[in-house]
Structure 1
Amino acid sequence: MSTTLTPTTVAFIGLGAMGSHMVRHLLAAGHTVRAFVRRPEAAEAARALGAEPFFTPAEAARGASVVFTNVTSSEDVREVLLGEQGVIHGAAPGTICVDHSTISPIVTREIAAALAARGIEALDCPVSGGTMGAEAGTLTIMVGGKPEMLERVRPLLQQLGKTITHIGDHGAGQVAKLCNQIAQVVNIEGIAEAMRFAAAQNVDTGRVFEAMATGMAGSRMLDLMGPKMVARNFAAGIEARLHDKDFGLARDIAEEIGLDLPAMQATSAQLRTLMANGWGKDDTSSLLRVLEG
């Protein structure tokens, strides 16, 4: 469903590799963006985009009807929303906080409850598609929270992504994102193992990839990661540390509820080895290097 929204004032917290592209799309649609920044050079970068910089989340949230966050960890989100200088101290009742971070569903529910006590709404809206999807405005957005709040911000989200799916109540969007990560990274590990299997038998991995890509093993992840592994190009498209962080969340929740997920657990162990080897800022295709020892 497509809806319209008159230009509005929003706040954005997290002008990283993805966030800066998302802000650019919001500005291009005619919205005013108040951006939280930590450093003077970040303030200049925000101004260059066309956003107005502020040095606390509370200041950025004042006068904004919607506050977007896109930071790294559960505690980062808790701090920028509920901390001493957090959004909760600047946002007016009725403001909607839209969190694009990938964090714990449990923490998401806690944050939503704390915001609700101050009359502030919350939606967890983690995304899939990476930096390329953010740049193109084609992200997949998984939403947890009240459906009526989603409809209020849908026109904004439509500037950022092409597929917007309401999953359920608070935290459900984060559960869906972790499901996405489990399927995605287990797939990357499978691709790495296939490439290792071929190379160990002196078979051309490029030709193996070409054959796999058009067969039943074909997938978006194979299309993305297969050429990287064949070319041994491990420059970050998706930083492995982010997948390791997400897998840590999924692993901890699975252990807490007594859920046995052997493929996820095995892949998680490979990610931990990758991190121990110092490849966290390289691409997750580096799982191939882990197999090579």
Structure 2
Amino acid sequence: MPSVGVIGLGDMGSGLAKNLIANGFETWGRDLLDHRQRAFEEMGGHTATSTAEVGRNAQAVFVMVMKGAEAHEVILGPDGLAETMAPGGVILLTATVKPAEARAIAQGLAGRDLHLIDSPVSGGFPGAQAGTLTMMAAGTDAAMDIARPVMEAVSANIHRVGADAGDGQTVKACLQSLIGAQFSATFEAAALAAKAGVPGQVILDVFSTSSAGCGVVNNALEKIIDRQFEGTGSHINTMHKDLTISMALGEELGVPLHTAASAMQVFHAGRTRYPDGDNWTCTQVIEEIVGAQLHRDAAKVTR
């Protein structure tokens, strides 16, 4: 059984590591924050002091960082994975970055005996922790064959969406444009219900059993009516970043994204007003405007 590495042990990366360890893989991890390193070690992982140490010890490495520049540095920088992994190893780019950034990483790996799978994920913090993520994987047949056992340890749905780097990120950008719109519509509907005096439980019961009910909507409503706006594992910075990628791709291809653009502004307002909040905190901005809050048992007038 191959040794596996995880670079980035935050909300998503910690879930990857947890499920790799649970499936019997020797797992090496690296994060810049000490408390994440300690939590990883407590779950049975081998903490590394550098990316190079992960590369030297792992035959497959998940890269779950926040930005494209960080992924580039981890993979192609001095003492990065490209320099330290043994020939035949696989790098799984599970971070969400711009398609062009994934292609640039692939170009930087050209001529090296390493495989790259461009595979952003969906499912958020719950999916990462439960090992039920959806993977949008783009890679060669050889890369997919080598990496499949470790991918199956963290994912319930592995979709082969292409063969080239950038293909996975393109699909993820399309997906996030839809999810962003679902989120923003849910936030507005919650504020509308609050202003109308409808209890949150009523809204959740109806929405979740209607044709509009889905994981995105139901989970967001649960968090809103229980007033859980921080620490839920879905920090607003991530979705805000993802929507900027969707909008950039639309600009590049000349595709109007009217609804995604509106969602981008909702998330921009939420991030500005509540920079430490999670996705659902956008609802608070709208609630402040209308002077009402949606709670599980009853809506509350705030002014």
Same fold (TM over 0.5): yes
Q: How does 1:25-64 map to 2 (within 5 A)?
A: 25-38=19-32, 43-64=37-58
Cα deviation per residue 1:30-55 (whole Å; 9 max; x = unaligned)?
22222234466655444323222222
> 1:232 & 1:261 partners in 2: Cα distance?
30
What code does the residue aligned with 1:100 have? T
User: Per the alignment, do residues 17 and 118 of structure 1 end up closer, same or farther by CA in structure 2, a change over 3 Å counting?
Assistant: same
Matching residue of 1:256: 252
Q: Counterpart in 2 of 1:104?
A: 98
SS at match of 2:112: coil
TM value normalised by structure 1:
0.90
Q: Which residue of 2 aligns with 1:219?
A: 214
After TM superposition, the structure 1 = structure 2 runs for residues 120-269 of structure 1, keeping only pairs within 5 Å, are 120-168=114-162, 169-237=164-232, 238-269=234-265
Comparing 205-214 and 221-230, the one that deviates more: 205-214
Counting matched residue pairs gives 286
Q: Which residue of the other structure, out of 17, 22, 25, is the alignment partner of 2:16?
A: 22
Amino acid at match of 2:106: A
Partner-residue secondary structure (3-state), 1:119:
coil
Q: Name the CA shift for 1:56/1:195 in 2 (closer, same or farther; >3 Å).
A: same
CA shift digits 1:222-278 (9 cap, x unpaired): 21111222333323421111100111111122122222110000110111111111x
> 1:47, 1:207 → 2: CA distance?
43
Which position in structure 2 is the counterpart of 1:3? Answer: none
Q: Go from structure 1 to structure 2 and tell me whether the alpha carbon gap of 1:63 and 1:191 turns closer, same or farther (over 3 Å shift).
A: closer
Letter of the 2:198 partner, please give it.
V
Q: Which residue of 1 aligns with 2:69?
A: 75
Q: 1:106 and 1:113 mapped to 2: Cα distance?
A: 10
Structure 1 range deviating more: 42-51 or 8-17: 42-51
Q: Which residue of 2 aligns with 1:4?
A: none
Structure 2 contact 12–125 (Cα < 8 Å) conserved: yes
Task: Please identify, of 158-167 and 24-33, the stretch whose mean Cα deviation from structure 2 is larger.
Answer: 24-33
Cα RMSD (Å) of the superposition? 1.9
Rounded Cα–Cα distance in structure 2 between residues aligned with 1:217 and 1:44: 41
For residues 153 and 119 of structure 2, the distance between their equivalents in structure 1, rounded to whole angstroms, comes to 14
Q: Which structure 2 residue ranges, 5 or more long, are not aligned?
A: 290-303
Paired with 1:138 and 1:62, the residues of 2 have a C-alpha distance of 28
Cα offset, 1:89, TM superposition: 1.4
Distance 1:124 1:231, change over 3 A: same
The answer (yes or no) to whether the contact 2:10–2:36 under 8 Å persists in 1 is no
Which structure 1 residue ranges, 5 or more long, are not aligned? 1-6
**Cα deviation, residue 11, structure 1:** 2.1
Compare 89-98 and 47-56 and name the one that shifted more.
47-56
Deviation (angstroms), 1:144? 1.3
Contact 2:56/2:86 (<8 A) preserved? yes
Shift of 1:69: 1.0
TM-score (norm 2): 0.87
Map of 1:270-289 to 2, 5 A cutoff?
270-277=266-273, 279-289=274-284
